[in-house]
């Protein structure tokens, strides 16, 4: 049995269409969705969201007058707060945590509530107009506990 040129073209077209759809689906699935709660007018938070989006995240931003209740509800330990709170794939990420540390968290999937980079240190993503003067230390935490531990140094 021989396949006509018309049938070959149809088969090739269908194959290319299916390959394209599979490629699009895998790219769409690789986007990491996150929701950021940030102060109303915080430029570093906006820069941080753009940084995440350049690194494969889709960030939904919710600006708020106060984040105190959000941070308490999320379990961020007092004294370890960053400038914003991000919720991503079941974890809390507080502050300007570098993307490689977030990816480590999402790949390792430890049994913790989340991680935090306290304050707004120079050299952190979103605060990179000046070089960092020390390693960026992200701390792991568990909701309901004030205990923290060093999760990553960047």
Average pLDDT of the segment spanning 72-89: 97
Residue 29 is predicted with a pLDDT of 58
User: Across-strand partners of 113?
Assistant: none
Average pLDDT of the segment spanning 97-115: 98
Q: How many CB atoms lie within 10 A of CB 142?
A: 16
Residue 3 is predicted with a pLDDT of 62
pLDDT at 27 over 90: no
Residue 1 is predicted with a pLDDT of 54
Residue 129 is predicted with a pLDDT of 84
Residue 10 is predicted with a pLDDT of 53
Q: List C-alpha distances in Å: 104 to 55, 107, 154.
A: 14, 5, 12
Q: How far is it, in rounded angstroms, from Cα 64 to Cα 40? A: 5
Q: How far is it, in rounded angstroms, from Cα 52 to Cα 43? A: 14
Mean pLDDT of the chain: 87
pLDDT at 35 over 80: yes
């Amino acid at each position: 049995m021989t396949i006509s040129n018309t049938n070959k073209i149809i088969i090739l077209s269908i194959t290319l269409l299916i390959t394209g759809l599979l490629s699009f689906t895998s790219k769409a699935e690789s986007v990491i969705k996150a929701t950021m709660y940030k102060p109303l007018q915080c430029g570093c938070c906006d820069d941080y969201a753009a940084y995440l989006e350049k690194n494969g995240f889709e960030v939904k931003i919710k600006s708020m007058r106060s984040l105190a209740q959000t941070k308490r509800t999320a379990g961020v330990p007092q004294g370890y707060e960053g400038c914003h709170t991000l919720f991503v794939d079941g974890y809390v990420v507080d502050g300007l945590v570098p993307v490689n540390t977030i990816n480590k968290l999402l790949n390792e999937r430890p049994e913790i509530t989340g991680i935090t980079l306290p304050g707004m240190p120079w050299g952190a993503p979103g605060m990179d107009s000046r070089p960092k003067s020390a390693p960026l230390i992200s701390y792991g935490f568990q909701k309901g506990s004030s205990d923290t531990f060093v999760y990553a140094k960047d």
